Amino acid sequence: MTDLNQINAEGFAIINSVYTENEIEKLISLIESVTENNIENNTKNTTFRKSQDLFAIRQFHKELPQTLPFIFNQKLKSIITENFGEGYFITKSIYFDKPEKSNWFVAYHQDLTISVNQKLEVKNFKNWTVKQNQFAVQPPTAILENNFTIRIHLDTTTKDNGALKIINNSHSKGVYKVDDLAIENETICEVEKGGIMMMKPLLFHASNKTTNNERRRVIHIEFSNQQLPNGLEWSEKTVLKN
């Protein structure tokens, strides 16, 4: 089964060895230098979130644009083109750092919202929220079905340090409540350091607490190739350079 066939059938695919050890270490170095600078200068940057169980950087590709040439190496660009085609751009990105002793876990859910530049009354766009001047909305299902996510693993991720677990093919049934979810055909998505996981937003996914005292760092990037209607714009839209 090809990666695209697996994504369509199961909602996800894992590809290891997308990045070399040197590329991963460069990404880690760039992230750590920005993180340390924010902490040392006590910068109250609202896109940075730090707690005992999680460190996160929202709008990651805008906060650390210097990482993009390393993220989008030739391998990743070829993977995107071969599986999804041309014309895709970044719509959202988050960096997650789950520490060694983290008790943080996430229950089963679908990724139902997108980040936009303003709140407008647009047909079939609903469940508006705003946090730290960032608008989010649930778009029509057709938009979500066409989008995809790539998760870049800076550490080896296993069932013991919070690897995503998913319900196979749960993306194919549209949007529905977690209460209606049948927990069957569950897969734990273990990914090697330097590997990626590709997934569809409507795929139900979750993650457990860390039990093996090993860190888990992931760069989560969402993509679309669609223009939003009626003057609505993707707030984090970034077109990739060839």
Domains and CATH numbers, the chain: 3-109+147-224 (2.60.120.620)
Joined together, the tokens standing for residue 232 give 């609505």
Q: Minimum mean pLDDT among 14-18, 67-71, 127-131: which range?
A: 127-131
Q: Minimum mean pLDDT among 11-15, 64-68, 130-134, 135-139: which range?
A: 130-134
Report pLDDT digits (tens) over 141-165: 999 999 999 999 999 999 998 899 9
Does 118 have pLDDT greater than 90? yes
Report pLDDT digits (tens) over 61-89: 999 999 999 999 999 999 999 999 999 99
With a CB cutoff of 8 Å and minimum separation 6, the contacts of 123 are: none
| Residue scoring higher pLDDT (43 or 84) | 84
Residue 34: the pLDDT is: 87
Joined together, the tokens standing for residue 190 give 């273990």
Residue 178: the pLDDT is: 78
For residue 99, name the pLDDT band (cuts at 50, 70, 90). Answer: confident
Mean of the per-residue pLDDT values of the chain: 90
Average pLDDT of span 173-198: 89
- Determine the residue type at 120: L
- Predicted model pTM: 0.92
Report pLDDT digits (tens) over 22-37: 999 999 999 998 887 6
Residue 51: the pLDDT is: 56
End-to-end CA distance of the chain: 28
Joined together, the tokens standing for residue 202 give 């409507």
Residue 156: the pLDDT is: 96
Joined together, the tokens standing for residue 69 give 């040439």
Joined together, the tokens standing for residue 199 give 């997934």
